[in-house]
Amino acid sequence: MMMSIEDRLNLQELNYKYAYYVDNFEPDNWAAIFAPDGILDESAFFDDAIFTGREAIRAYGAKICDTVDHIVHLINNHIISDLTATTARGTSVSLVETMRKNGERIRFHVRYDDDYVKIGDDWLIKRKILGKSFPFENVVAG
């Protein structure tokens, strides 16, 4: 199936919204871009970090808000594939910088493997799996 420009732009924007909502501490909006039974899998980074369903994802986002002062995702190299009328896959990479409320700064290099689903007129994240593309590092202020 040929991917329309509209589908491509909607899927790219979905990926950017994922970063924007978590970076701006909006857990309700962050969870809403996932399918109702969506999965966020960060188990490559943290134990017990597979969240299923919007409420679990929203609660995890709220936990991020409680423990992090600053966070920024620089997402790029978004490749979309396997498009059908209602599904697609995507990969991207991200550099993620965080400053936790305890002053700790951590830098993550992340690879995202995504499954998307179209429900009605909206593209949503069905499953997002985070992987390490480079070991995380503690950043020490100079």
Structure tokens at 89: 């896959």
Q: Is the pLDDT of residue 42 over 80?
A: yes
Predicted confidence at residue 102, as pLDDT, reads 92
| Phi/psi of residue 110, nearest 5 degrees | -120, 140
The pLDDT of residue 140 is above 70: no
pLDDT mean across residues, the chain: 92
pTM to 2 decimal places:
0.92
CATH number for the domain including 78?
Answer: 3.10.450.50
Number of domains in the chain: 1
Show Cβ contacts of residue 39 under 8 Å, excluding neighbours closer than 6 positions.
50, 51, 52, 126, 127, 128
pLDDT digits (tens, 9 = 90+) for 105-139: 999 899 999 999 999 999 999 999 999 887 767 77
